[in-house]
A and B are shown apart, each in its own frame.
Chain A
Amino acid sequence: MTKSTSPGRLGVRFGYRFNLIGLSALAIILLWGGVAVFAPHIIPHSVGEIVDTDYFGPMSRDLWFGSDYLGRDIFSRILMGARYTLGISLAAVSIACFSGVALGMTAAVAGGWLDSILSRFLDALNSIPSKLFSLVVVAAIGSSIPALIATLSVIYTPGAYRFARALAVNVNTMDFMVVARIRGEGLPYLIASEILPNILGPVLADLGLRFVFIVLLLSGLSFLGLGVQPPYADWGALVRENIGGLPFGAPAVIFPSLAIASLTICVNLLIDNLPRKIRDRSAE
C-alpha cells in the first residue's frame, strides 16, 4: 500500500536528490570559480593602478567596493584575488587530503611495520610548527605558486592521514573486511572499495575544514610577504593590508572578509549537503 507524494521541488533527476542549500552553495562556489577563471577580462581597473585620490574610500558608482589603503580599486583586487585564494588552496587541499587519506587507509589495512613507519614519520612532520616550516621553505627556495602549493600540502597531509587512519582502523575490524581478505582481494580494492565508502562522509567534512585552514595559512604567509607577491594579492592578504581601515569601517577590509567567509562556508555547506543517490526506484 503506497501513497505517492510529490518529490521535493528540485525534482529527482538521474536518481539523485540534491537539496536547496547544497545547490545554492554549489552555485556560489561555481560563481567564484568562474570569477577566478575570467578575472583578467572582467576587472574594471588594473589591480596595481591607483584610481582614487583618497585612501579607504567609500563605495561609489565607479569603485563598487571602495578603495584600499593606497587608493586602488578593491572590487578588481578581490576578483583577481579569487584566482590565488581558490587555485592555491584547492590544489593544496586536494593533494594533502588525497595523499593523507590514501596513506592512512593503507596503514590501517596493511598494519605492522608499514603502519609504524608511516605513522612515526608523519607524526614527526606534524610536530614542526606550520608557519615556521613554510617560512623555512620559502626562505630556502623562494616564493612561487608551485612552492606554496607544495608547502601547504606537506603541512596538511599528516592531519588528514591521522584522521583517515583512525576511521579506517574501525572499519578494518568488520567481518566484511575478513570476507574480502579471504576472497583474496588486494590492497587497492580493500582500501578503495571496502573502506573508502564507509569513511567518505567524515573525510569530506575534514576536507572542508582543512580547506579553510589552508586559506587562512595562505593569508598569513601573504601578510608576511612570503605568499602571493604584490601588486597581486589573495583575499587574506587584502584583509591584512587593509586592516588599518577597520576603525573607519572601510569597505576595503569588509569585502575581502566577506569573500573568504562566503567561500569557506559554502564549501562546508556543499559537503554537508552532497547529492544523495535514491535507491527506492519502485515509485517510478
Chain B
Amino acid sequence: MTGNLVEIRNLRVEATTDAGRRVEIIKDVSLDIAEGEIVALIGESGSGKTTIAMTLMGYTRQGCAIAGGEVRVAGVDMVKLSEAERARIRGTRVAYVPQSAAAAFNPALTIMDQVTEVARIHKLMSAVEARAKALSLFKALSLPEPETIGNRYPHQVSGGQLQRLAAAMALIGQPKVVIFDEPTTALDVTTQVEVLRAFKAVTAQHNIAGIYVSHDLAVVAQIADRIVVLKDGSVQETGTTSQILDDAQHPYTRELLAAFRPKAQQRGPECEETTKRPLLQVDNLTVGYGPRLRDGQPLISVVQAVSLELDRGRNLGIIGESGCGKSTLARAIAGILPAYAGDIIFDGRELGKAGRGRTRNELRQIQIVFQHADTALNPAKSVEDILRRPLTFYHGMSGKARDTRVSELLGLVHLPKSVRHRLPGELSGGQKQRVNFARALAAEPTLILCDEITSALDTVVAAAVVELLKELQRELGLSYIFISHDLSVVEAICDEIIVMYRGQKVEEITPARLTAPQHPYTRLLFSSVPKLDPAWLDNLEQNADAVRAYCRQ
C-alpha cells in the first residue's frame, strides 16, 4: 500500500441522456489525498466536483456510471466492489456531509435516531455508547442544548443546526475520509465560523482526511491543505492553498480569484432627492404565527414592529442570521404570510396584507425569488413551461412572441437555450437558481425580493448575477430587497442595509457613507466574513461577550 489514503486515477464518469446519448462528465481526473489531509474541490456548478467526491463512495447519480479509472480508498478500489461491499465501507470508512441537510433528514424520525443510525446499521457500538458519542459530537460541533437536541425532529431546529447535525451523523462512524459537499454554503457567517472551527478541530483531532467541495474560495482557504480547481469535468490546476491563492497559474483560477473580490460599487450621486415618495414603505410590521392574542399580537411573533423605506431604483439589504425573521419579513411584504399589524405602502397605495387582497398588477410588480430553487421550481414542468406561464398570465403572450421572450430571459440569466426542454431535476443547483430568477424577471416587476438568491451560486456566477442585477436596474429601474447572510454581496449592491436580530431591526447602515457599524451584533457579523487568507480563521479574535450573546450557543 502506498502512502496515500485516497488515490483517484484516470477517473471517467459518463451520463446517459434519455435519447441514449452518452456524455462524458468527468474526463480523466486523477488526485490523491494523504491521511489527515483536506483537499478542496473548487469550481463552478456543473464542473463535476460533487460527482468526483461521490465516486469515493463508489456512487454515481442515477443515469451516470463510472466508465473507467480507479478510485482507491485505503487500498480498496471502490469501482470494482459489489454494492454490498460498498455499503459496508460507506459510513465507516467514507462518510458524506450533504449540501442540503434539510433534504437528508427523515422528517418522521428524531434527530438522535438518525444520527446514531450509522452506528446501529454497522453494529459499531451499543445504543448507549452511540448516544454518548453523538452527544460529544453535538458538543464538539457547538450545537445548542446538546443534551436534548437529539430528541427533537428535524423541522424543530434551524437550517444551520441541521447542517451541523448532518456532520455529526457523518462523523459518528469514525470514518477515515469525509466528503463535505458544500456544508457551510447555507449557513450564516457567524455560525459558519463556529462550524468551520469545529470541522477543523474534529478532523485534526481524529486525523480524518477530507474532500471539501465548495465554490467559496475564502472558506476553502481556511480549511483545506490543497486545492484542486475544476472546470467542465477536468482538473485545471492543483496546488497547496497558498500556491493557489498567491500564485495562480491557470487563467480560470485567476478568474475565480478576481470574482471573489467584488468591485467597489460605483454608486450614483447620493440620493438625488428627486423621488418624492418612496417605492415601498413598511411601517411597524409585525408578522407571526398562531392565533391573535388579546393585545393584537400573534402567539409567536417572528418579525416585531419593523419599519423600512425603499426609494425607486435603489436597493435595500436585509442581513442577519438564520431565524432572525428576514425571510418572514419578505414573505409578509409579498403577501404570502399576512402580517398581523402594520402597513405596507407600495408606490403610494396601501397593499392588502394577504396576496388574495391585491390586484393582479400589484402582485406582478412585487416578485419574490426563493432561496431553495429545488422546491421553488415544479419538478414536473420543463424550464420552458415554467417561464412561459408568467408571460401568459401577466402579459397575455403566446406563440412565437412568447418563445422569443423565453429565449431572451434565458439569455439574460446566462443559460444556454438548450436547457429549455429540461426538467429542473436535470439542472445543477446554480442553473436552477437562474431559472428561478428568470421566472421573476418574466413578470417585469418593479421590486424583486431576493431571498438568499446568490447563496447557491458559485462566486464567478454570483458576481455575474450581481452585475446583471445592476444592469437590469439601470435599464428597467428595478429595485431589489436583498436578503442574505453573504455580506459581500449585500455590500456590493445595496444602498442601505438593515441588520436584523431576533425579529427586530438593530441597525441601519449606509455603505456609501461608510458609517462604521455601531451595534455589537453588526460588528460580530462583519468580522465573521471569511477573508482570502488561510490564517484568517486561526487569527480571528471576536468579542467573546458578543459571541456568547448573539451566537445562541
Contact = CB atoms under 8 A, between A and B. Distances in A.
B382 interface: yes
Interface string A272-284: 0000101111111
A1 B19 contact: no
B376 interface: yes
Interface in B414-439: 418, 421-423, 426, 439
A185 interface: yes
A179 B393 contact: no
Nearest to B440: A179
B335 interface: yes
Interface string B5-23: 0000000000001111111
Contact of B20 (A5, A175, A176): A5
B370 interface: yes
Nearest to B21: A283
B363 interface: yes
Contacts of A3: 21-22
A258 interface: no
Contact of B336 (A17, A182, A200, A283): A182
Contacts of A140: none
A2 B18 CA distance: 14
Contacts of A5: 20-22
B363 A183 contact: yes
A183 B393 contact: yes
Contacts, number: 90
A5 B368 CA distance: 43
Given A1-B27, A178-B336, A183-B393, A197 B22 contact: no
Given A1-B24, A1-B27, A182-B334, A7 B390 contact: no
Interface in B15-58: 17-24, 27
Nearest to A276: B18
A280 B355 contact: no
Nearest to B24: A1
Interface residues of B, number: 38
A13 to B, nearest CB: 12
B381 interface: yes
A2 B418 CA distance: 15
B436 to A, nearest CB: 9
A6 B19 CA distance: 9
B291 to A, nearest CB: 16
Interface string A159-174: 0000000000000001
A7 B377 CA distance: 30
Contact of B17 (A6, A174, A176, A280): A280
A17 B19 CA distance: 8
Given A1-B23, A198-B380, A279-B423, A174 B334 contact: no
B378 interface: yes
Contacts of B390: 183
A112 interface: no
Contacts of A115: none
Interface of B: 17-24, 27, 334-336, 355, 358, 360, 363, 368, 370, 372, 375-382, 389-390, 393-394, 418, 421-423, 426, 439, 443
10 contacts: A2-B21, A2-B23, A7-B20, A175-B375, A176-B376, A176-B378, A181-B355, A183-B363, A183-B393, A282-B418
Given A197-B378, A280-B21, 19 more contacts: A2-B21, A174-B376, A175-B370, A179-B439, A182-B335, A183-B363, A184-B355, A184-B363, A194-B378, A197-B381, A198-B380, A278-B19, A279-B421, A279-B426, A280-B17, A280-B18, A280-B19, A280-B421, A284-B19
